[in-house]
Structures are given as structure tokens and as C-alpha cells.
Structure 1
Amino acid sequence: MYPSSNRLFWPIRLCWFAASLAGVLGLASSALAEDTLRYGPGVTKITVEDARKDRPLEGDIWYPTATPDILPRADTSKVWQMALADPDGKAAEGIFPLVVVSHGMYGNTFNQAWLGSELARRGYFVAMVNHPGTSSFLRDPDQTRKLWERPVDLSRLISFLIEDSPYKDRIDPERIYAAGHSLGGFTVLLLAGAEFEPDRYERECSGEKLPVACQVLTGWSIAKTEADRSEMAKSRKDPRLTKVISLDLGGTPVLSRDSLSAIDIPVLVLGSQRADMLNQEIESRALAAALPADKVHHVEMSDAGHFDFMGVCKPEGFAILEEYEPGDEIVCIKGNKEREEQHQRILAEILAFLEH
């Protein structure tokens, strides 16, 4: 969850609009030897087709291809390094686990494209949609206040992929995972069984010095009416989910402690030690402490910042943003070689969690 600034992702959106699908934001290298990888990273656009017409869902799906040597990278952004991707490459034969990914506040599916590419190369389907109301491109206030729809978006995505999509025979319904960054971490926790607690929200989000999450939620008029309070408080647990990954989430202060202690699937909690955006004491550390001890694995990434879970900046990216969009350069602090190293560590933690 980021500060409630509408302009934070503006330069990023400009870069992304200019890029082709082959140039999705992300990581160029990984911690694991390239010559050991069996698959290539395929990627294509996806539209969820279901009965809901009031909330269209579109995004990207990354998947393993049988051609690990075909992984071009476009170079269309002045700020961002591009992910390895084979647009519309043929999916490899076999049955693979699925990871659905939720982006942060005013982010989009490109934020964790680096992760989609890396996981696809290791035999995972990775699907992401732009959440209406809280994505870079879709900011209608009426959709924004319906924060309860974000976990529903992921449930709809899962249903479409395993029941109606062209990939349904490639996905293992017994291995469905979810990962989310920032507000996306909050979203996937709701999908895992965490619940918004209205009374706690009112208590924690009152006063002058509010946590970042409270600044965002109150700014969006979340749970202001009785109807909205009721919708926000409903459980959005999806029993098909078998593991969940939180990437420096924002929103722990408003989650019911009883619901967190009742979560019955493994949870990987990755936090950022630099705490440059979120207070770890009330976010990832508090989340890990509230989850069942036998279900949670908490790692605070040494010297990592909140934006290290996003893509890698080019060496000149910080200076470009500082000149043309002052204030937005925060997304590129330690965003080049240091971020590549953080990605390697993040990827290793995620793979260890998913594969054991």
C-alpha cells in the first residue's frame, strides 16, 4: 500500500503504454543458473469471461513454454529494465501450479511481471489482473471504495482459468497459490481467510498520526456506510487456495486478529527491513505474530525497501524521474543492481516456500 498520491505511478504508466507486451517490466537475471531452466517465459493478455459485466477484468498470464532459449527483451523504456518474455509463445505440455498475483495501490499487472517471468521459467502459470478502482488505469471512486471486490477479482480469475480458459487443462487445481504486494498483500490475505474488522478499523484509523494504510483507506471512504461496512466485513475466503505469499503488505492494522489466527494454509510473509514506506511493527511483523505459528514463515529482507518487490530500474532511471517527475524517484532508490540482488533473494524465498 502506497501513499495516497495519484501521481506516483504516472511516469511508470507512460513507459508501460509505450512498451509492447514483450517489454513487460521486470528482472533480467535470476539467482539460479540460466542453463538449468527447462522452460521459457511465455506471456499473453487475458480477459476474464464470466457472468459479471459490471467489473471487467483484464491482465496478463505468464506460463512455461518448451523453448527456454526463446526469451527476447524489448528496450522501450528509459526508466525500467524489461522482463524476459516470449509473447504468445506456445505453452509447454504438462500440468502446472497456478499463482495469482495482486498488485498494489494504483499499480497494475506490470509491477510484478519480473516475478511472472521468473516463475514461468520454473514451471508455474502466473496470472494477474488490473483491479478496477485501485489500478493505474482504472480509478473510478465508486469502484475504489468497493475494496471487498479485490479478493473476489482473484476468485473470479481462478474460476475462469481452471474452468473455462484455454489453459484449464494445463493447471493443477490442487496447487493454487496467491501472492500480493502492498495492498495486494492485504488482498491475498483476505482470500486466505483474513477478515476486515469495522470496529478495529474505526479504532486504529482515528487520530492525527495515522498509519499509511489508514491514510489510504480513509481517503478512499472505505466502510463509510452500513452497507459498505457489511460488505467489507464478509469473509472472502477461497477454499481452493493452498498457499499465500505476502510481499510487504499494507493493511494489517484493520484485520481481525481472530480471523488471522484461524488461517489454515501456509503463509509466507516477506517484509522490507528498510521500512521506507510501511512500519514493519504494525504491518508484516504484526501479521506474522497474529498468524498460527505452524503456518507462517516470516522473512524480513535485509536492506530491502518497499519498491524492491517491483521491477528493476535502469541505472539512469532515478535521475530521469527526479528531473521529470520529482518525488517519484523513490521507486528507483537502490533500484538497479541492488534490486536485482533483492529479486534473487525474493525469488529464492518464494520458490523454497512453494516447493516444500
Structure 2
Amino acid sequence: MRLTLLATAFGLAASAALAAPPGLMLDKTYMPHHDAMAVTAIWYPGDGSGTTRIVAENPVFQGVEVSTTTRIAPGAHPVVLFSHGMGGMYRTQAWLAAGLAARGAIVLAVNHPNSTWGDFDMGAGVHHWTRAQDLSTALDALLAQPDFAGHIDTSRVMAAGFSFGGWTALSLGGVRGNHAGTVAAYTRFGARMEACEMLLSERVNLQGVAPEDWNGDYADPRVTHVTAIDPGFVWGLEPADVAGLSVPTQLIGFGDAATRMLATDFDASGLRALLPEAQAHQLVPGVHFTAMPLCKPAGAAILAAEEDDPVCTDPDGTDRAAVHDAIIALIADQLGL
């Protein structure tokens, strides 16, 4: 499905469903596979109590309104296990977490050790299986929390993620890596594909990762749905690698032939053809960075002065807020919200 101005319609429908400001609780969870603590963020539907404040705001990005004191709304709520992209953090897609929580979902996000802003080691961060383990461990902790345990609908547990996190979501749903296929694809493309040279560099050494680790099964049987937003590591897969994915799945991409990121192109890579039952949505106009937060007026100039990625720059005609609303609506619809 190609979504253009339909994004605005999705946004209007989703906005109409907004209730009380969502709640946000920050915690830390011990990750035994890292032997380290990781920050976890639990966004949840609030009952209207408490006071609100803005979080995830900085000179470049707009923040979102939440309450850190509200009680959880009555009832059982679906859970979204959300995985950020390489170098992101729980704040990076706060717009998505807060939007889903306002519509009735509990969103559990983790600052993945080694691949988070402020805690970044690309050589270790590329060990994708640890991210799936992060979210499975965080879900264990969430289910044991007295404040939330009685409010979780275990029949609706979605794994979702953006970019590298999109692969994490697919992995939690049952997709397995194909080390030989991925390395061969990146070697073939080289500088023509984003990040290939860096991933194959001596510093990262993707080709030196143990195939048995890369190709392992990291599915969480509690996951009932998957949403992968512009997912990475989608090249080099074969039918056997996706055979374990049997839950309802949707793929969400950005852009057209001129703006689509090759590394996350689930059509050109063949992933979409391998998943004929999955729903696929292409948001046009847009680009990979359209999944980043809404930018303040000075955001683009600040990033340019710092020679940082142009994450505030969308293709002409893109309404980033409407695209965000469309993604929230697609996920909410899949969860029956």
C-alpha cells in the first residue's frame, strides 16, 4: 500500500482518539547477557490524574507531553516492545510511544547497551541478538511489576522497531539472520549502500561475527504481532530465514525511488516477497529520517553547523507530523485500538 496524502487522514482519525496524556515511568533493568543495567521506559495510558510536563525535548527536537505521576488507566492493555535505531534511545521515537500510549497501549522501550546515544560501541552494537534479548528481559520485568502486571493483555504483544530496531522486531517475531547472505550483499554493494563500508571495516568486522550467533533463533513466543519501520539488515535473506515468522506482520517504509534508503529497502532486498502475508506500507513523500522527532525551526541549522546528519530535512511536500500520525494509526489498528 502506498500512502501519500492518506497520512493526513490517518492522522486526523488517530488524533480524534486522544485521551488523557500518557504516563511515563523510567526504570533500570539488569541485562545478564550484557552484565549491565539498561534504562527502560514504560509509556502507558493514564487515567487523567497527576501533572504533565514535556519530555524528550532539546534545541533541535520538539518534545511530547506526558505525566510521570498519573496512574495507569483501568483495564488490560496491549504491549508494544519498541527497539530504537543504531545510536538512538528511548527518547528518539517518543512521539510514537506517547501516541500509542495515549490510544491505550503500554509501550516498553529499552536503551540498548552498546548501540545507544551516549553508550555506543559499533563493534559490539552490531551483535543484533542482544537487542532481542534486551526486550525479552525487559518484558519479564514488566510482567513482574505490581503496577502493571494486572493491566497487560498478553494476547496482544507487539514487537516494533525503527531501522536497526526494525530488524530487532523481526527477530523477536521469528526471523533469523543469514550471516553469509548479508556479508555477501554488503560486499557486493560496498559504497553504493549506506553503512556497508563501515560495517565491513576492521573496526566493526561484521564478517568476523560468529555465524551461529548471527543466525540464531531469538524469537520470543509471547510476541503476537510485528511492525518493522524501515528495518535494517534486510539483504541476503532466504525463505528458510523467515520461516519462523508466523504472527501478523507489517512493514512500513519511507520514500520513493529517489529518496528511499537502499539499506532498508524491503522491496529491493526481496524481504517483502519472502513475506507475502505481511502488510506493507510505503509513506510518500518521506525519507528514513522522517521517523525522527518533529524539529524546531532552528533544528536544521543547528545540525548543519555541527556537521551532523540532516535528520530535520524531509523531501519537499512531506508533512512529518502527518506521517507520524499515520504510523501511530497503522500500529494502533493492528492492535485493535
Instruction: Classify the TM-score, shorter chain.
Output: 0.7 to 0.9
Matches within 5 A, 1:200-349: 200-207=181-188, 208-209=190-191, 211-212=193-194, 214-219=196-201, 220-225=204-209, 228-274=210-256, 276=259, 278-279=261-262, 282-284=265-267, 286-291=270-275, 293-294=276-277, 296-322=278-304, 324-328=305-309, 330-334=310-314, 338-349=319-330
Structure 2 counterpart of 1:92, one-letter code = A
Contact persistence 1:188–1:246 (CA under 8 A): yes
Shift of 1:255: 3.3
Contact persistence 1:68–1:121 (CA under 8 A): no
Q: Which runs of 4+ in 1 moved over 4 A?
A: 33-36, 49-53, 68-71
Matches of 1:47 and 1:135, distance apart in 2: 14
Structure 2 counterpart of 1:266, one-letter code = P
Count of aligned residue pairs for this structure pair: 322
**1:138 equivalent in alignment to 2:122:** no
The match for 1:42 among 1, 7, 23 is 23
Matches of 1:33 and 1:148, distance apart in 2: 33
Shift of 1:258: 1.8
After TM superposition, the structure 1 stretch with the greater mean CA deviation from structure 2, 142-151 or 152-161, is 142-151
Per-residue Cα deviation, 1:92-132 (whole angstroms, up to 9, x for no partner): 22211100110001111111110111111111100111111
Matches of 1:187 and 1:178, distance apart in 2: 8
Shift of 1:37: 3.1
Per-residue Cα deviation, 1:308-341 (whole angstroms, up to 9, x for no partner): 112100122112222x31243x100139982112
Contact persistence 2:56–2:92 (CA under 8 A): no
Shift of 1:279: 1.6
Matches of 2:121 and 2:58, distance apart in 1: 27
After TM superposition, the structure 1 stretch with the greater mean CA deviation from structure 2, 40-49 or 244-253, is 40-49
- Over the matched positions of the two proteins, sequence identity in percent amounts to 28
Matches within 5 A, 1:144-163: 144-163=125-144
Matches of 2:14 and 2:166, distance apart in 1: 29
User: Tell me, which stretches of 5 or more residues in structure 1 are unaligned?
Assistant: 1-29
**SS where residue 273 of structure 2 aligns?**
helix
After TM superposition, the structure 1 stretch with the greater mean CA deviation from structure 2, 234-243 or 49-58, is 49-58
Greater strand proportion? 2
Contact persistence 1:40–1:69 (CA under 8 A): no
Matches within 5 A, 1:155-194: 155-164=136-145, 166-194=147-175
Shift of 1:276: 3.7
Matches within 5 A, 1:72-87: 72-73=53-54, 77-87=58-68
**1:128 equivalent in alignment to 2:109:** yes
User: Tell me, which stretches of 5 or more residues in structure 2 are unaligned?
Assistant: 1-10
Contact persistence 2:24–2:67 (CA under 8 A): yes
Matches of 1:96 and 1:187, distance apart in 2: 22
Matches of 1:69 and 1:141, distance apart in 2: 40
Equivalent residue number for residue 198 of structure 1 = 179
Matches of 1:141 and 1:77, distance apart in 2: 25
Contact persistence 1:41–1:86 (CA under 8 A): yes
RMSD: 2.8
Matches within 5 A, 1:98-137: 98-137=79-118
Shift of 1:190: 1.0
After TM superposition, the structure 1 stretch with the greater mean CA deviation from structure 2, 229-238 or 282-291, is 282-291
Shift of 1:178: 1.2
**SS where residue 255 of structure 1 aligns?**
coil
TM-score, with structure 1 as normaliser: 0.81
Quick one: structure 1 residues 315 and 355, their matched pair in 2 at CA, closer, same or farther if it must change by over 3 Å? same
**SS where residue 111 of structure 1 aligns?**
coil
**SS where residue 86 of structure 2 aligns?**
coil
